[in-house]
Structure 1
Amino acid sequence: MADQDLLIRESRSDSPDIPAMRALPANIEAEAAFLGAVLIDNRVVEELNVPVAPEHFFEPLHQRVFERVLALLERNAVVTPVTLKPYFEADEALKELGGITYLARLTADGQGLLAPRELAQQIYDLALLRELVSVGRGLVEGALDTSESVAPMEQIEHAEAELFRVAEGATSESQAESFGVSTHKALGMIEKAINSGGNISGKTTGLASINEKIGGLHDSDLIILAGRPGMGKSSLATNIAFNCADRLLRDQRDEIEDGQSVGAPVALFSLEMSADQLATRILAEQAEISSEKLRMGKISREEFQQLSFASQRLAELPLFIDDTPALTIAGLRTRARRLKRRHGIGLIVVDYLQLMQGSKRNQDNRVNEISEISRGLKTLAKELEVPVIALSQLSRAVEQREDKRPMLSDLRESGSIEQDADMVWFIYREDYYIAAREPKVPAGDDDVAAHEAHAAWASEMERVHGLAELIVAKQRHGATGKVRLRFEPRITRFSDLADEDRRGGYDYD
C-alpha cells in the first residue's frame, strides 16, 4: 500500500489551481468506528462484503490493532479492549493517544455497529485510491528518472500491470464459497451445454468431434497443443480461434445473449507469423482458395469475388491478432489484460510457447525459463478466467521411433509444461510421414518389384491422405483418447469426418 504518512505533493508555482499540499484520501474516524464495532461484536469480521486487511487502514496504529484482532480471532479468542491490553501497553503511538483507554473509547458509543459493512467498504475504497496515487506517483518518478537505461515500453507494461492489480486484485481475491454457490455455477454450465445442443459446457472449438471429447474449452484451463513441424498445429489453432469468434458473431446476429453463446472474442498472439499472413490464411480457408495462389496472385476474377465476399463477411469478426515478436510472459499478460478490459476476450491463443521469453533472471537457463513461461500462462488463464491454448514444439525423439505418434515425454525442454497444463493435445498426420517415404518411380516397365513397391506406397498414401489425429494425451476433466479429423492442406483447414469415418476414434489410452 502507499506510504501511511500524509503525502505532501509540491505543485508547480505557476499552477495556482492546484493546492500546494494534498493529503492522501483517508477517513480516520471511519476506521475508529469500524474497529469499535469489531471490538463490540467480533462477528462483524465474518460478515464483511469486502476483504478488509490491516494494510487497508491509513492510521498505522489502526493497522496494528486490526492485525492483532485477526490473529486472536484465528485462535478462536474473544477480542475486547481488555484482551488487547497486554499487546499494546508498550505501544508508543497508543500512549500518545491516551494509552489503553483509547481502545476503550473505540467502543464507547457503538455507532459503528449501525453500519459496519458500509464503514468497511469506505475503508477499502479509500485504500484503493491511495494505491492508485502510489501507482501514479511511481509512474511519474520512473518517467522522469533518466539516470539509468530508458525503457519506456517496460515502464508502460509495469504501469498497466499495477493498474490492473489495483482494479482487479483485491476484489477478485479467491475466497471460499458455499457449496450452494458452486453447484449453481455447475448447473449453469450444464444448462449451457444443453442449450448448445449438447457436448459443450465451455467455449466451442468449432469442431464437433473435439467438442464431444473435451466438452469445449473451459475457463481457467491451459491447453497445450503440440506437434512436430509440418503437422498443422498452427493451422488447427487458427481454425479454433476463428471458429470461436465466428460463433459469437453468428449468435449475436441471431440475438442470442453473449452469456448464452459458446463463442467468444479471441486474442491470437502470433510470435511466428505476421498478422497479415494469418489474415491471408483465414481468408483462404473461408473463400476455399489456396493460400499459395493468394500469395502469388494467381487467382481468377471469380475467385477474387469469392475473396471479397469472405472479407466483407469477416470484417466484424471479434478476432484480435497481436504479432509482436519475442514477447516476454509479462508483456503478453499485460496485452491480454488490456484486450480483456477493452474487448472482453474469452479465449487466448499463443503461437508458440518456445518463441516467448521469460524474465532476465531465467534467460541463462532455458528449462527454468520455459517453466516460468508455462506457469505464467496458467496463471493468466486463472487470472482472466479464460481458456488459453499455447502451441509447443516436440523434441526430435519422435523421429527416432517407428511409431511417430507423440507422447507426453516428447514435450520439449521442460516437464513443467505437462505439469501446468490442464489438457495436452498432440496433432499427428500419418500421411506426412508416408509421403516422405515415397519410393523412386521406376523409369521403365521392366522393374516389376519397383512398380509393385510404388503401387503399394500409393495405396497406403490413398488410405491416409487428408486424415489427421488429435491425440488428447492429458485431460483433467475426462478421459484421454484420440479424435480423427480431416485436413485440407491446400486451404489449411481441419474439419470433422463423416460419422462412419470417426468411429473407433476414442480407443487411445
Structure 2
Amino acid sequence: MNDKLPPQNIEAEESILGGIMLDSEAIPRVRDILDAEAFYVLSHREIYRSALQLYLSGKPTDLMSVTNWLRDRNLLTSIGGRNKLVSLVEGTVSAINIDSLAKLVMDKHTRRKIISAGREIAQLGYETQTELQVVVNDCERKLFQVTNQILDSKTEHNSTIAAAAYQELQASNPIYMTGLKELDQLLVGFEGGTMTILAGRPSMGKSFIASFLALQMILLHKLPVIIFSLEMTKKQLEYRLWSFISASSAYREFSFFPMTCDRIRRHRSTEKPLEEWELKCIASLSEVVSDLPLYINDYRGIDVLGIASECRQIQSCMGKIGLVVVDYLQMMAVDADGNRSYELGNVARELYKLAGDLNVPILALSQISRSVEARPNKRPMMSDLSQSGVLEMVADNIILAYRDEYYNSNSFNRGVLELIVAKARHGNTGTAAVWFDRNYGTITDMKSKN
C-alpha cells in the first residue's frame, strides 16, 4: 500500500486565492488555465468557484464580495468562515506570480489524475474476461482524459456557459464551410462535435461526394482529414484522388492533364497502357498529393473503438482534425445475433458520441433501402435510410444523394447531383443542386460550370 501524500501545493493554492481577492485583474489571468477541481483543499475549490462566478457576473472579487457571496449561499462556515478568507488575503503580498502559481497547481492536479488513472488502468489489466480492444480503448481514453484535462463533471452553471459561448465568437471553434454555396446556405458547414450522415442508393456517388468534402477541408481550411474506408482500398482511393486533383481548378497552376478515374484500371488490365507522358504527369500528381494532410485506413474489420484509437493518435500528433469520414455504416454493423438494426444503431450512437468526445465533425456514409426503387419519384426520403430510426435520431445532419440520370436516361438534369438536406439540426432543410462529373469525381456549384 502506498502511504505517500498525493502531489499538492497548499501554499500556492492559498496565494492564488489571496491574489484574486487582492487584485481585480488577477482572475482573468488564471480562469482559462485553472480549474476549480485542481485545488487539493476542498474549501479552496469553493472559494475559487465563488470568485469565478462573481467575475463572470461582472462583479468585483475582493474580500467583501467573496465573503457576502459565500454567506448568501450558506457556504461561509463550511470554508472556514470569514477568518479563513482574511488569512488568505493577509498571507499574500501580491498577485504578480499568479500565472505561474496557477500552472503549478494544475501540474499537481494532473499528477494526481495520472496516479488515479494508473490505478484504474492497472485494474483494467486484470479484467481478462473483457475483450482486449475494449480494455486498450478504455486505457487510451483514461490517459487522454488526463492529458486534455477533461473533468468528470460536465454540468456547468449557465453563467460559465454563456461566457464560454461568447468567447467562442472570437473564432476559437469555427464552423468550416464546404465551399459549395447552396449546401453552405443550408448547413453553414461542418462543426466540431457533430455527425452528418450522407446516404443514397448504390452508384449515386456517395464516396465521390465524401472524398470531395474531405479534400475541401484540406484545400480551404488547411486541416487534416481521416478517411476510414471499409469498401475501397487505400490505393483505389489514391487513384481517385489523382483523378480529382488532375481536373480540379484548385490545381490549375500545375497544368495537369485531366485523368479519368478508370485510367489506372485500364492500364493495369493492359487494355490501354499508360503513355510515357502520362507516367510523368502521375509522378507530379503523386508529389503534390503527398503533401496533403490526408490519412486513410482501409481495414475492413475496424470498429468504432478502433476508429477512436486512430483518431486520438492523429489528433494528438496534428493538434486538430478537420473531418473524419466513415465509408460506410452498414459495413461496420456486424450481424452477430441476427439483429442488424440493433447493431447499426449501436455503431451510429458510438460514432455520434465519438464526434463529441473528440470535438470533430464526422461524415458517415449509409445505404438506403430498396423501397425507393418502387416509387415513381425515386428521390430518397429520410425514412428510406436503412434501419432509419436510430440514424434519424443521432444524426445532426442527413444528406441524401440523388442523380436523376441514373434512373432516366433522357433526363433533362444530366450531370446534376442533388444533395437533399433532409435534416439539419442547426440549419435548414432543402436541396443543393451541383454539377457532378463522375469521370473525374469533381463537384462544382451550378453557376461555376465552365
TM-score by length of 2: 0.73
SS of the equivalent of 1:339 reads helix
Contact 1:351–1:391 (Cα < 8 Å) also in 2 = yes
CA distance in 1, matches of 2:322, 2:183: 18
The offset of 1:319, in angstroms, is: 0.9
CA distance in 1, matches of 2:393, 2:228: 23
Contact 2:22–2:94 (Cα < 8 Å) also in 1 = no
State the partner residue of 1:495: 443
State the partner residue of 2:297: 322
State the partner residue of 2:225: 266
CA gap 1:295/1:132 in 2 versus in 1, 3 angstroms: farther
Q: Does 1:350 align with 2:326?
A: yes
Structure 2 gap ranges (5+): 54-65, 247-258
CA distance in 2, matches of 1:7, 1:486: 67
**2:347 corresponds to which of 369, 373, 396:** 373
Q: Does 1:231 align with 2:195?
A: no
Paired residues for 1:64-79 under 5 Å = 66=45, 78-79=69-70
State the partner residue of 2:423: 474
Q: Does 1:392 align with 2:366?
A: yes
Contact 1:220–1:384 (Cα < 8 Å) also in 2 = yes
The offset of 1:127, in angstroms, is: 1.5
SS of the equivalent of 2:369 reads coil
The offset of 1:426, in angstroms, is: 0.8
State the partner residue of 1:159: 139
The offset of 1:324, in angstroms, is: 2.6
SS of the equivalent of 2:290 reads coil
CA gap 1:383/1:155 in 2 versus in 1, 3 angstroms: closer
CA distance in 2, matches of 1:363, 1:135: 34
Query: Higher relative CO (CA 8 A, sep ≥ 6), structure 1 or 2?
Result: 2
CA distance in 1, matches of 2:91, 2:433: 68
Structure 1 gap ranges (5+): 1-5, 9-21, 89-99, 190-200, 248-260, 436-459, 503-509
The offset of 1:295, in angstroms, is: 4.7
Contact 1:35–1:66 (Cα < 8 Å) also in 2 = no
Paired residues for 1:184-263 under 5 Å = 184-185=170-171, 202-205=176-179, 207=180, 210-211=183-184, 214-245=187-218, 247=219, 261-263=220-222
The offset of 1:357, in angstroms, is: 5.2
Moved more, 479-488 or 167-176: 167-176
Contact 2:312–2:358 (Cα < 8 Å) also in 1 = yes
CA distance in 1, matches of 2:359, 2:39: 30
Q: Does 1:128 align with 2:110?
A: yes
The offset of 1:150, in angstroms, is: 7.7
Contact 2:266–2:273 (Cα < 8 Å) also in 1 = no
Number of aligned residues: 409
Corresponding letter in the other structure for 1:468 = L
Q: Does 1:148 align with 2:128?
A: yes
CA distance in 2, matches of 1:184, 1:215: 18
Contact 1:49–1:117 (Cα < 8 Å) also in 2 = no
Q: Does 1:484 align with 2:440?
A: no
The offset of 1:389, in angstroms, is: 1.2
CA gap 1:402/1:163 in 2 versus in 1, 3 angstroms: same
SS of the equivalent of 1:281 reads helix
The offset of 1:351, in angstroms, is: 0.9
Q: Does 1:338 align with 2:309?
A: no
The offset of 1:128, in angstroms, is: 1.2
CA distance in 2, matches of 1:79, 1:320: 52
Q: Does 1:281 align with 2:256?
A: no
The offset of 1:266, in angstroms, is: 1.0
Contact 1:266–1:346 (Cα < 8 Å) also in 2 = yes
State the partner residue of 1:111: 91
The offset of 1:465, in angstroms, is: 4.1
The offset of 1:391, in angstroms, is: 0.8
State the partner residue of 1:422: 396
CA gap 1:184/1:315 in 2 versus in 1, 3 angstroms: closer
SS of the equivalent of 2:70 reads coil
Contact 1:233–1:391 (Cα < 8 Å) also in 2 = yes
CA gap 1:315/1:409 in 2 versus in 1, 3 angstroms: same
Instruction: Flag the structure with larger Rg.
Output: 1
Q: Does 1:181 align with 2:167?
A: yes
Contact 1:222–1:422 (Cα < 8 Å) also in 2 = yes
CA gap 1:431/1:132 in 2 versus in 1, 3 angstroms: same
State the partner residue of 1:506: none
Identity %, equivalent residues: 30
Q: Output the aligned Cα RMSD.
A: 4.4
Contact 1:218–1:386 (Cα < 8 Å) also in 2 = yes
The offset of 1:417, in angstroms, is: 2.3
CA gap 1:37/1:301 in 2 versus in 1, 3 angstroms: closer
CA distance in 2, matches of 1:312, 1:69: 54
Contact 1:51–1:171 (Cα < 8 Å) also in 2 = no
The offset of 1:278, in angstroms, is: 1.6
The offset of 1:211, in angstroms, is: 4.5
State the partner residue of 2:262: 290
| TM-superposition CA deviations, 1:429-469 (whole Å, max 9, x none) | 2222235xxxxxxxxxxxxxxxxxxxxxxxx25x4444322
The offset of 1:471, in angstroms, is: 1.4
CA gap 1:326/1:403 in 2 versus in 1, 3 angstroms: same
The offset of 1:233, in angstroms, is: 0.6
